[in-house]
A and B are shown apart, each in its own frame.
Chain A
């Protein structure tokens, strides 16, 4: 049933990283026609990365010779952009195993205009499509707040874990106004999946600065972030990334993206404040920092970072929010999202 697969390789897949592209990996503006056109015609060398994305991708792709890490990109960009995007990856030194793009022109030609903008049917279908049905490798997902990545990724996590039954899945797809043919495809994929709870963290880059609290209904699995230093810290606390990997991500952001001590310390405090990390992460950081080579960072930066983070830490110990197997109420999330959009578009009647 799989129509798109990652290239064959005899090595065991130990981790799969699934990325969105626009506003997750590269900066894109598609809210206006002007921005959309600029994006479409932008040369690969002119496309700007989200700070830390390339450094983090390089770090998470590190693995032993007999193991394999898979990186897939599923994007809402049109298929016509494939060559430019592959060239962009080449410039960044990234080799994704798979790049899936949206058949926007086909949708227009078939008169399926809702599918041009809608993401649920396309992206959920594509994620299930590219998944090896029997994989037990851990998955980490990266998306953004521009569309419905948190919703789609979270649904994907529940489908592959076997937590979502067929009737509920169908009701959600109907509520999300997914066309009949992608709906049938998604249901067929869901039926064929051998359930494994493989999805760990779902990172949502808050490029649009959506309040992080809007993602609380999705549970602790979904982690809103404002930079990839935060993602690196969470992956380090989960044991996926070593501390020296976090240091290299930070060094990349220092060198290329004008990040400094305050941005890093405030980012750490933000994770503590939202209980993505607990106070134990701070203790662990201090212990591990003694054994890490910080020579790629400016002198004293690491010490100053630890001091500042300690100074900003909550006075009482906090525990990180724990993963919960309870499914989010997807139907309620869709309805409240719609109600919120309506409230935002209502203009208050005031004379002055």
Chain B
């Protein structure tokens, strides 16, 4: 019997593997959260960085439980083949369905050495296929912090490619664990527009 979410999704250059103790090393994740790079990567987000190794272990446990219960799919992003850094942990990609609304929220963070390779767009293409073809959702929604300029460029490129649009800047939508509430800039992609767009090949494996 297939799970609601696929365990592995393969694109031309990436392997997305469901987060578990096998695919994410808690200690490495904890170290990243505490690093200068982690501080940069995990700013513009609603949750605080992990402050203890236990938090990283608990995060993995919670992510596994949410995957099994059909609430959220989170994947370790791993470059493959002849990519520089093939086999390494490059970041986390997330697909969060809002089942009643027919909407899939997509999100990602990537370690800095993997930036500039259009991995974000490649991962989006894969998870859009999962959201639309497998999960029968109608729309994908991508939200970013207004100050997150790197995400802006990456998002706008693939949103345009897949026939999506910028919906607006909505003020004070998020109350983070610490710090001031912030605005969200939101984009959506409709299934029909995605179907009509130029889509790459994606392999889904159980």
Instruction: Answer yes or no: do A and B interact.
Output: no
Residues of B within 8 A of A (CB): none
